[in-house]
Structure 1
Amino acid sequence: MIGIITYGAGNIFSLTAALERLGIPYGMITKEEDFKLYDRYIIPGVGHAGAAMNKLEHTGLVPKIKSLTKPVLGICVGMQLLTSYSEEGDSNLLNLFPIKTLKFAHSATHKVPHTGWNQVNAEKDNLLFENIPDGSHFYFVHSYFIEYNSDYTLASTTYSNKFSASIMRDNFYGVQFHPEKSGVYGETLLKNFSKI
């Protein structure tokens, strides 16, 4: 059963709708004692990473999140929160991955935010991407990206520069795209996470 960490910075509706379509049981986590009810967790997130981190700190859940040993999936800003630092708001984050979240450079050919479908290329075999063909497209909406680091990158993509579309370290996973808005392969990824 999946526990969704709710802290006021996530698009909960589209995620819960996807989990319901897939028949994956879930519940909401708002306090530390809720964690024991679930065997895996999702950190959703939309908007501003610095503001999201501030909201997360106000819940008092940060030490607990850092100590988790069960699978955790960060989605979009939820993935960015797993990194050490974001240029958005000049913010220190959870530092579960020693990599940074950086701002895209605006150009005539690459508008910011990056919005739309991008091809995602696998860099490592992992259960999170099981039954998802390499080069599948996923839906992105973001102005900041996670710097590419081969040690932690499960899958990469390119928009003005190459960056990590998905990361993993120990029991922590992240995806920059929105699986709940990415059609059949996004739903496959959520199903895979529910079995990791």
Structure 2
Amino acid sequence: MKPDLLLLGDSHTIALEEGARSLGLDAAALRYGGNVWHEGKFGWNDNGFFPKGSNLGRRVLGQMQERLGVKNVFSVGAPVLTTVGFHLGRLTRPFNWFDHAVMGPGDPAPTSGLLASDALAEAYVAHFRGAHIRVLKRLSREAKLIVVPPPAISEEPNFRQLRAIVIRLMQRAGLEVFDAAEALHGAGPVPAHLIEADGQHMTAEYGAMVIERLRDEKRI
């Protein structure tokens, strides 16, 4: 039976999956660790999306293919929510090794560290996220696809700036991006009770809020 919702991404999809189920929706998730995504171990072929060089990844995909009875799991007509591209720790940590500080449009000049222009940071992000954007563009031809960036709850240097650049590049490529944190909370912080104890992931309650907003806006 076709699920109500498909999810593609990393551990940030857990909140969306649990939130969907709390609303009575059948959500099916294709989830891989951040290293698989950052190292580009994925692609697209005649059977749709596929993981590269990962026996576990192939098993996860095979289980969903068996459940849905199709090779291309994104061809069943269910909307897709994805967090692909937002395993941001793999971007920020190397960028921060030499104490660079991104100065985006309208930002004040940093008071410490090595100044990194917005253009330099964008080129850096494009290098590491170009393949992700290309695969998502291809996927968007198969299904209704919405990118749902996890909120910027990390205080790691340059996290918010690099997240904003990923969003910008995706929108420039024509992908639909729903920045749930901005939609739900504006410029204010995400309430603490919606953040898991690990300080990195969101709760099922937050996932349900995201999906309810998307349904209210008739995006899914």
**Common fold: TM-score over 0.5:** no
| TM-score, length-scaled by structure 1 | 0.40
| TM-score, length-scaled by structure 2 | 0.36
Larger Rg: 2
> Whose strand proportion is higher, 1 or 2?
1
> Whose helix proportion is higher, 1 or 2?
2
Return the structure number with greater relative CO, CA threshold 8 A, min gap 6: 2
